[in-house]
Chain A
Amino acid sequence: DTGVSQDPRHKITKRGQNVTFRCDPISEHNRLYWYRQTLGQGPEFLTYFQNEAQLEKSRLLSDRFSAERPKGSFSTLEIQRTEQGDSAMYLCASSLVELPYEQYFGPGTRLTVT
């Protein structure tokens, strides 16, 4: 499968614990995005990378959130000291740095904080 993959698909954690998600983009794509989607809403942008550089972070991304893309390939999103409000679907997407900038999404990681 040459699409975007995410791991794990589901994560249940207790409030206060740390969690880490992984995203593997389409291999030739140099842009990688993270979005968050809560129930009944459209996805909201969190951050994105071009190669290994993190170029933009949303104000939604509090200090408890950190993302990395160390070698310009896969990316990780870590949430420290999780809160119930962090419960959401975390979506990863990738694209090329050229028109039409089409983004391809992975299956998402569903986080439930109890």
Chain B
Amino acid sequence: EAGVTQFPSHSVIEKGQTVTLRCDPISGHDNLYWYRRVMGKEIKFLLHFVKESKQDESGMPNNRFLAERTGGTYSTLKVQPAELEDSGVYFCASSQVQGWNYGYTFGSGTRLTVV
């Protein structure tokens, strides 16, 4: 089966611009998660979708970040306006069953650089 796909793999934008990251989970996986690693820090949870509903968005850093999952398939994460501290690698993961005891499949990530 195809894995979790993220694109673009790299994005370089100027401060103040808008960027949209996309994640295609494994087909049939209702649970979709976003994580990120900013420079020098650990990987941090951002939010969790169950189908099209946000189950937990406690990790979203501020209102410049907007995640959507219309139709319960792919998800987008928009950063508007981007700031320098948003630079990092953004990972998406999916799982078939809710509950982390079953393991998540991660994508390779989108490396975002804000200059």
A binds B: no
